[in-house]
Amino acid sequence: MWQDLGVAAVVLAAVCYAFWYLMPGALRRRLAAIRPELGKSPSCSSACSSCGGCAPKSAADADAGKPVQIVQIVRQR
């Protein structure tokens, strides 16, 4: 019986974390109006690069400093 309660507590904690992590930003901001601690977004340790800390936000930003090379294709007959 205690093992079932322990497993239920772990599963409940995992569900709450998944809900918090996948919660839309608009709902998170609305909760921040009620209680400021609830408005904090998840940490940047997920390596999703949405904060720009891990990698550039887009491929265009990564290639911004590289020179452009034009490739011409010639059809041979």
Q: What is the pLDDT of residues 9-58, one digit of tens each?
A: 999 999 988 887 788 888 878 877 887 776 666 565 555 555 555 555 55
Determine the pLDDT at residue 43: 60
In a domain, 70, yes or no: no
In a domain, 73, yes or no: no
In a domain, 37, yes or no: yes
CA distance 46 to 41: 12
CA distance 61 to 34: 37
CB 16 within 8 A of CB 8: no
In a domain, 68, yes or no: no
Determine the pLDDT at residue 34: 82
Top pLDDT among 7 and 19 is at: 7
CA distance 46 to 21: 10
Determine the pLDDT at residue 77: 79
Q: What is the DSSP letter of 7?
A: H
How many domains, in total, are found in the chain?
1
Sign of CA dihedral 27, 33, 37, 39: positive
Domain of residue 35, residue span: 2-62
In a domain, 20, yes or no: yes
Summarize the confidence of residues 60-71 as an average pLDDT: 70
